[in-house]
Structure 1
């Protein structure tokens, strides 16, 4: 789950996608408790808790579709449906995966993939799909990126070591699904300044942004590392929204660099505007994200009563067509068998004893010729 190659598909504006890690002991139980509570409160219309293997076998929309299989390391599949402003329906799937045993950073955890899609273009002010499945509480440790040492809903300080810093930048821009922002602390901030900039963002965008902090003494080393690895500069006391390969159309380093960010608890308007602007740029989907979105669309189980009726009617039509095809095939085989029997009877004279062979000149008009023609009709369905 760590590798992240890109596809040629541009992320649709109707979708919300995220991938992270849960470091707590009972991730699936945390999801169940939250779903149950939100349904009881009327926030969710409904939800499902599915075993991945059984879910793949019983996919409603596209049975036995390759996209309905979340993979052998999947632990659990959850589906939820809710409505947002103006009654727009949102459908979402959360899949949890076994941790990667090869990881040596001490932060294995359970990987989760979340794909949500609305009936129209996504609005950043809608509720975050992450908080529909995970509790919006710091007591549940679900908000970590798949990149080690990087977390959501807070700030992550860049490593002190130069090599580790460059590796962090590479992994965040090549493997993560989130938007990454680096903020340089011109001086050590107080409690208000330590507040994450992402906390000022609207709900649905807040959980798509990872905020990195560079300490005052890291100004030069961080600037050099970003220039070398990503061809961007980090101004002292400012911030930059990091690019994500392949190159996003419309991304210009100067455009997404903010010269001054005052970490005094006030809203950094310019930086927030740059983050919002970057979030709506057309970006190619990571390959794993495209698969997650296809599973959501083609492997959906939580149907409404109306959708169940349409699905049942479609199945009745398919069964009727299959039955008609079987009946037609049976009739064709019966006709061929009757023709063969008639030709055989003509050849044997009806007594089961073959007639004497005839000359080649009379072959076409002989009973043997009739039998050959009959079997020829059997082989050629057009006759």
Structure 2
């Protein structure tokens, strides 16, 4: 997959979008097993496991255009449908891709893109679409960000090297689809304090947030680099939600900065509120995310029986209108041709269409002459 660039479209509040990497053998097998288990348990209504080439094949009943094509590097396409609060239906597609890079450390790596959309505004308390497709287990490494060295579901320590830190901050704010938060450890935390603060987030938000940690001795350098690269500071013992590039509408560094975060295993209420508030801001869609959302809407396969019937009726109506338009077009063409012939007849002074010589008429006119010329040799010679 190519690096994402922002589009002019704002992410809809009905959608959940994610992009990452699975590092390990048989990524599609992990998805398949999870979907089978959730369907058997009644957590999801149904799912499909599709070959990408077949998924975009167009038929008379299901015409599909280029917007439904996940691209040549797509490996597999999965769809799932489930219901949440008040029977609201969620539809989701996960597509796996060959890795964009062939570097040695990406061996066995599979890229993935997930787009989910609900029938109404998305709620953070709903189940995470990520754990509908991927097992929520530490034994399956599906949660690597597209930015190298960054993972969900853990606290990622900032690099010690200044250049690496700058690179990381730039890539996290320009390429990643996730929300990034930097927390400074005022002192080295114990086991409870090392627990990621993202574990306290609601289910649907938990897998949209990446947590970074600055060690006690990194306070000054992390603050300096972040101010220079992003225009935001990192308070000692505090935290800040990083801006995206371009910035989300309504972002202000002070608004999304927390002065004190106690890493003692207790719930950091203020920081969680800031993260939730930031995640609700209108944000520009990365180009790849916009394409994934379009594929979800235009290339959906997992229809219910009622949806299939409604689709069939819509297609019958569509083809009937097309046939009617063709018939009307033929009638107009015939009327135009008749008018042209009438105008030509009037211009030439004839009462009907111009005469033309047909092959049959030509044969009737020349037949007597041909018979006469065949008998001429009988009258030739000296005595005749």
TM-score bracket for the superposition, by shorter chain length? 0.7 to 0.9
| CA distance, structure 1, for counterparts of residue 340 and residue 233 of structure 2 | 85
- Where structure 1 has 5 or more consecutive residues not aligned to the other structure, the ranges are 347-362, 373-383
Q: Which residue of 2 aligns with 1:273?
A: 273
CA RMSD of the aligned region, Å? 2.6
Q: 1:364 is paired with a residue of what secondary structure? A: helix
| CA distance, structure 2, for counterparts of residue 23 and residue 95 of structure 1 | 15
- Say yes or no: does 1:72 pair with 2:72: yes
Q: 1:142 is paired with a residue of what secondary structure? A: coil
| CA distance, structure 1, for counterparts of residue 262 and residue 69 of structure 2 | 47
Within a 5 Å distance, the mapping from 1:279-358 to structure 2 comes to 279-328=279-328
Within a 5 Å distance, the mapping from 1:145-294 to structure 2 comes to 145-294=145-294
Taking a change above 3 Å as real, the CA distance of residues 209 and 108 of structure 1, as seen in their structure-2 partners, is: farther
| CA distance, structure 2, for counterparts of residue 228 and residue 60 of structure 1 | 57
TM-score between the two structures when normalised by the length of structure 1: 0.86
| CA distance, structure 2, for counterparts of residue 61 and residue 197 of structure 1 | 49
Q: Which residue of 2 aligns with 1:124?
A: 124
| CA distance, structure 2, for counterparts of residue 107 and residue 187 of structure 1 | 37
Taking a change above 3 Å as real, the CA distance of residues 90 and 211 of structure 1, as seen in their structure-2 partners, is: same
Q: 2:144 is paired with a residue of what secondary structure? A: coil
- Where structure 2 has 5 or more consecutive residues not aligned to the other structure, the ranges are 356-384
| CA distance, structure 2, for counterparts of residue 293 and residue 61 of structure 1 | 22
| CA distance, structure 1, for counterparts of residue 57 and residue 31 of structure 2 | 23
| CA distance, structure 1, for counterparts of residue 185 and residue 338 of structure 2 | 91
Q: Which residue of 2 aligns with 1:17?
A: 17
**Equivalenced residues, count:** 355
| CA distance, structure 1, for counterparts of residue 294 and residue 61 of structure 2 | 12
- Say yes or no: does 1:366 pair with 2:356: no
| CA distance, structure 2, for counterparts of residue 278 and residue 208 of structure 1 | 12
Quote how far apart the aligned CAs of 1:5 are. Answer: 1.1
Deviations 1:185-222 (A, max 9, x none): 11111110010000000000000000001111111111
| CA distance, structure 2, for counterparts of residue 332 and residue 314 of structure 1 | 27
Deviations 1:24-53 (A, max 9, x none): 111111101000110111011111111111
Deviations 1:123-156 (A, max 9, x none): 1000000000000111111011000000001111
| CA distance, structure 1, for counterparts of residue 312 and residue 51 of structure 2 | 23
CA contact 2:182–2:211 (8 Å) conserved in 1: yes
| CA distance, structure 2, for counterparts of residue 244 and residue 334 of structure 1 | 61
| CA distance, structure 2, for counterparts of residue 184 and residue 172 of structure 1 | 17
Quote how far apart the aligned CAs of 1:293 are. Answer: 0.8
Quote how far apart the aligned CAs of 1:254 are. Answer: 1.1
Q: Which residue of 1 aligns with 2:115?
A: 115
Quote how far apart the aligned CAs of 1:364 are. Answer: 2.6
Deviations 1:270-291 (A, max 9, x none): 1111101101111111111111
| CA distance, structure 1, for counterparts of residue 343 and residue 149 of structure 2 | 82
CA contact 2:64–2:299 (8 Å) conserved in 1: no
Q: 1:57 is paired with a residue of what secondary structure? A: coil
Q: Which residue of 2 aligns with 1:349?
A: none
Quote how far apart the aligned CAs of 1:337 are. Answer: 8.1
Q: Which residue of 2 aligns with 1:359?
A: none
Mark the structure with the bigger radius of gyration. Answer: 2
Taking a change above 3 Å as real, the CA distance of residues 341 and 8 of structure 1, as seen in their structure-2 partners, is: closer
19-28 or 58-67: which moved more? 58-67
Q: Which residue of 1 aligns with 2:38?
A: 38
| CA distance, structure 2, for counterparts of residue 78 and residue 371 of structure 1 | 66
Quote how far apart the aligned CAs of 1:319 are. Answer: 2.4
Taking a change above 3 Å as real, the CA distance of residues 369 and 163 of structure 1, as seen in their structure-2 partners, is: farther
CA contact 1:343–1:367 (8 Å) conserved in 2: no
Q: Which residue of 1 aligns with 2:26?
A: 26
Q: 1:169 is paired with a residue of what secondary structure? A: helix
54-63 or 299-308: which moved more? 54-63
Quote how far apart the aligned CAs of 1:334 are. Answer: 6.8
